[in-house]
Chains A and B, each alone.
Chain A
Amino acid sequence: AQKVTQAQTEISVVEKEDVTLDCVYETRDTTYYLFWYKQPPSGELVFLIRRNSFDEQNEISGRYSWNFQKSTSSFNFTITASQVVDSAVYFCALVNNDMRFGAGTRLTVKP
């Protein structure tokens, strides 16, 4: 069975701190895709990144970076120098022939 676990329900940091959101997944498939989505307080869901299972290169986009490690079945998301606008719920998702979203991590960045 496929599963996505975001063990951190809520995280609170102070602005400019670095923060890592964990995502651990389970699948028996060798081909799959991993995603991160952001849901700010306004409610819409916004795509952040997609990774396929054959591409373990880490990715950096501005203050955002993602660490994909197949050996530990993890796809963690780090925000460097967090800002108040980063406050949102972040979802990790696994897709192959099925789709599973994690429960989400609510990040609060305080000024």
Chain B
Amino acid sequence: DAGVIQSPRHEVTEMGQEVTLRCKPISGHDYLFWYRQTMMRGLELLIYFNNNVPIDDSGMPEDRFSAKMPNASFSTLKIQPSEPRDSAVYFCASSPGLAGKQFFGPGTRLTVL
């Protein structure tokens, strides 16, 4: 099993540009989570999906952030327009259940200049 796959691993962009982060969960996992990690705020849950349906997006910081899961094997987190304060490491994780062991991807390090 390849584990959770995230792309790109690193992204550098300029303020105002659209950024799309991608995640492929582990096959068979019903839950997918997006997290953001910064020095200031630590690890924050942004949104999670169950069977491709967004369940809780209360952690999404603002309307510039959106997430989709068009099928069981793919999810995107989009930031439009991006701002320097969005610079962080974004993790995707998947799990067989909400309270199950989560398997994390390697993360995408986003830098917005």
Contacts and interface: CB of A to CB of B under 8 A. Distances in A.
Binding site of A, secondary structure by majority: helix, strand, loop or mixed? strand
B91 interface: yes
B107 A50 contact: no
A104 B42 contact: yes
Interface residues of A, number: 19
B4 to A, nearest CB: 10
A101 B45 contact: yes
A44 interface: yes
Number of chain B interface residues as a range = 10 to 19
A44 B104 contact: yes
Interface string B77-113: 0000000000001010100001111111011000000
A43 B89 contact: yes
Interface string A33-68: 101010000011111001010000000000000000
Contacts of A103: 42
Contact of A43 (B44, B100, B107): B107
B18 interface: no
A43 B106 contact: yes
A35 B56 CA distance: 20
Interface in B46-84: 48, 56
B12 interface: no
A98 B104 CA distance: 18
13 contacts: A43-B106, A43-B107, A44-B107, A45-B93, A47-B103, A50-B100, A50-B101, A97-B98, A98-B56, A99-B45, A99-B48, A101-B45, A104-B43
Given A97-B98, A98-B56, 12 more contacts: A43-B106, A43-B107, A45-B93, A45-B102, A47-B101, A50-B99, A52-B99, A95-B98, A96-B99, A99-B33, A101-B42, A104-B43
Interface of A: 33, 35, 37, 43-47, 50, 52, 91, 95-99, 101, 103-104
